[in-house]
Amino acid sequence: MLVLAAALLSLAAAVDVARAADTPADKTQPAGASSLNPRDRGKYMLIVGSCNDCHTADFAAKNGNVPERDWLKGSALGFAGPWGTTYAPNLRLTLAKLTEPQWVRYAKDLKTRPPMPWFNLSQWTEHDLRAFYRYVRSLGPPGDPAPAFVPFGAPAPQPSVQWPAPPK
Ligand code: HEC
């Protein structure tokens, strides 16, 4: 009985393999994201992590239609709130000052002012942080720094998004 069951199971497995071999690759779907090479995985994490929304000038305003050569160079659009006015820095410059292991530590320990979602970045796996580093370092010339943080009450270069204090 057991032998028969085992034989049936392996027959079923063989049929599955044959079916899989018959199925043409679905060209509309990206390859499994985890099977991407590190650079492509890093790019994928950047896109699904929404980093461009703030760290690339005009990215959201242009519905993402910003050429890759301009990605992550920082933005001069300020985020003004009770914390002062912050600017999403040029991440090409930030990463150029760090080695890959230093970046992993930096991202894991990072705590910033709003609206940077550092609490999401710190949950990335080391594998994904390393992939992100390789991708960002492969981008072209780093460009210039974004404007520096402006303390609360001091005049900030315009324009900036005004952020209200959270409800009590
Ligand atoms: C909602 C806007 C927003 C999004 C989305 C965002 N950031 Fe930021 N990020 C900022 C701002 C603003 C700062 C500066 C905070 C400050 O000055 O304290 C910052 C700071 C940082 C820093 C510190 C930079 C430095 O030079 O020390 C890193 C690293 C960073 N972000 C990485 C990322 C990554 C990676 C993603 C995507 C997973 C991301 N950010 C998504 C707005 C954003």
Ligand 1 centroid from CA 99, angstroms: 18
Establish if 25 belongs to a structural domain: no
Q: How many domains does the chain have?
A: 1
Query: Closest ligand 1 atom to the C-alpha of 121?
Result: 38
Establish if 93 belongs to a structural domain: yes
Does the pLDDT value for residue 99 go beyond 60?
A: yes
Establish if 167 belongs to a structural domain: no
154: left (phi over 0), alpha (psi -120 to 50) or beta: beta
Establish if 119 belongs to a structural domain: yes
3-state secondary structure 1-55: CHHHHHHHHHHHHHHHHHHHHHCCCCCCCCCCHHHCCHHHHHHHHHHHCCHHHHH
pLDDT of 166: 79
Helix or strand holding residue 167 (H, E): none
For 16-59, how does the pLDDT look when each residue is reduced to its tens digit (9 = 90+)? 444 444 444 445 445 556 678 999 999 999 999 999 999 999 99
CA distances to 2, 40, 87, 91, 160 from 46, in Å: 51, 10, 18, 11, 24
Structure tokens at 3: 């032998």
For 65-82, how does the pLDDT look when each residue is reduced to its tens digit (9 = 90+)? 999 999 999 999 999 999
Q: Binning pLDDT at 50, 70 and 90, where does residue 5 land?
A: low
Establish if 47 belongs to a structural domain: yes
Ligand 1 centroid from CA 13, angstroms: 48
Count of alpha carbons within 13 angstroms of residue 125, beta-carbon side: 8
Q: pLDDT higher for 12 or 161?
A: 161
pLDDT of 6: 54
Evaluate whether 74 touches 146 at the Cβ level (below 8 Å): yes
C-beta 149 within 6 A of ligand 1: yes
Establish if 27 belongs to a structural domain: no
Q: Identify the three-state secondary structure at position 31.
A: coil
Q: Whose CA is nearest to atom 37 of ligand 1?
A: 51
C-alpha–C-alpha distance, residues 54 and 122, integer Å = 17
Does the pLDDT value for residue 157 go beyond 90?
A: no
Domain that holds residue 69: 35-150
Establish if 112 belongs to a structural domain: yes
C-beta 92 within 6 A of ligand 1: no
Establish if 70 belongs to a structural domain: yes
The one-letter amino acid at 108: K
